[in-house]
């Protein structure tokens, strides 16, 4: 990564419970939003099963392509927690009891420490710990791969521990213009606005709620002045149709 090539990221969600439809993922949106705000576009998410071969392949494909790779899930103490072993295999590293992780866990658990809990201190050799302020066992980093818990509250605590160590790019800003207009009524003008502002990512998202139909037009980019100009164009478009526009601003 140089000053000319902004950082990018990928996320691997390890979890049979997502692929079976049992559990609604609650981690993608959080990580995606935090990375956008840090100027690190999330380029791909993969949800893979709790299988070593699938995890290895996803990790090695995505770490070859993106600056940072995050994983969630599979770092507990039970038989289905195979993420640490799989990351070790992906890097060709032995998986050993990490001395500092053991110390952290003995401090956190006190007399409640057990051999079963200490399974969570098994990590690829040379892994750097990711602090876990929410519960006892830490996450870890190997190379560009950050290994986080799947439980959302723990994942978030770990993410915030590691975030200051990431090298971000220019924060990605967004503006959203919402109106009770159908996409087909604005499609042509929108295409012209996109052509006028090629450095802005302009998305169109139809919605239906409470008997109303409408569209949210989202402009994303790193230049605040350009975004404001795009919003002016979008509002003029909606105003020209005799409708009202609502403007929202935010990261991501």
β strands within 49-200, DSSP E: 68-72, 95-97, 122-124, 128-130, 139-142, 145-148, 173-179
Q: Which is nearer to a copy of itself, 98 or 175 (CB)?
A: 175
138-154: string of b/e by CB count within 10 Å (b at 16+)? Answer: bbbbbbbbbbbbbbeeb
Q: Does 52 bind a copy of itself (CB under 8 A)?
A: no
Residue selected from 2, 20, 92, 99 as contacting a copy of itself according to rule CB under 8 A: 20
Q: Which of 2, 22, 110, 210 binds a copy of itself (CB under 8 A)?
A: 22
Return the SS3 of 94.
coil
Contacts within 8 Å (CB) and 24+ apart, 75-79: 75/120, 75/137, 75/139, 75/147, 75/148, 75/149, 75/150, 76/120, 76/149, 77/116, 77/117, 77/119, 77/120
User: How far is it, in rounded angstroms, from Cα 218 to Cα 205?
Assistant: 8
Q: Whose structure tokens read 């699938």? A: 54
199 binding a copy of itself? (CB under 8 A): no
State which residue, 216 or 235, has the beta carbon closest to a copy of itself: 216
Q: How many residues interact with a copy of itself (rule CB under 8 A)?
A: 66
Per CB under 8 A, does 247 bind a copy of itself? no
Residue 229 is encoded by which pair of tokens? 């100009």
Instruction: Determine if 214 is a binding residue for a copy of itself (CB under 8 A).
Output: no
The CB-of-15 to a copy of itself minimum distance in angstroms stands at 9
**Toward a copy of itself, which CB reaches closer, 6 or 203?**
203
In angstroms, give the least distance from the CB of 126 to a copy of itself: 26
Q: Is 79 in the site for a copy of itself (CB under 8 A)?
A: yes
Report, in Å, the least distance between residue 135 CB and a copy of itself: 9
Task: Enumerate binding residues for a copy of itself (CB under 8 A).
Answer: 13, 16-25, 28-36, 41-50, 54, 76-81, 114, 116-117, 119, 151, 153, 172, 174, 176, 183-188, 190-191, 194, 201-208, 218, 220, 252
């Amino acid at each position: 990564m140089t000053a000319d090539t902004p950082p990018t990221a990928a996320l691997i969600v390890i979890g049979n419970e997502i692929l079976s439809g049992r559990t609604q993922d609650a981690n993608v949106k959080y990580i995606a939003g935090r990375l956008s705000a840090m100027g690190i576009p999330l380029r791909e998410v993969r949800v893979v099963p709790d299988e070593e071969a699938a995890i290895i392949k996803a990790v090695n494909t995505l770490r070859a392509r993106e600056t940072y790779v995050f994983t969630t899930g599979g770092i507990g103490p039970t038989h289905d927690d195979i993420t640490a072993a799989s990351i070790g295999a992906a890097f060709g590293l032995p998986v050993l009891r990490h001395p500092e992780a053991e110390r952290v866990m003995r401090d956190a658990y006190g007399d409640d420490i057990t051999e079963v809990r200490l399974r969570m201190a098994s990590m690829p050799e040379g892994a750097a710990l990711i602090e876990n302020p929410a519960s006892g066992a830490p996450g870890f980093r190997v190379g560009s791969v950050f290994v986080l818990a799947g439980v959302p509250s723990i994942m978030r605590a770990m993410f915030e521990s590691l975030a200051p160590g990431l090298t971000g790019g220019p924060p990605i800003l967004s503006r959203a213009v919402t109106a009770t207009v159908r996409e087909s009524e604005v499609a042509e003008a929108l295409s012209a606005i996109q052509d006028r502002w090629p450095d802005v990512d302009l998305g169109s998202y139809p919605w239906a709620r409470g008997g109303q139909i409408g569209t949210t037009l989202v402009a994303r980019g790193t230049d605040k002045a350009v975004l404001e100009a795009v919003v002016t164009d979008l509002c003029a478009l909606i105003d020209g149709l005799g409708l009202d526009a609502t403007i929202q601003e935010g990261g991501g």
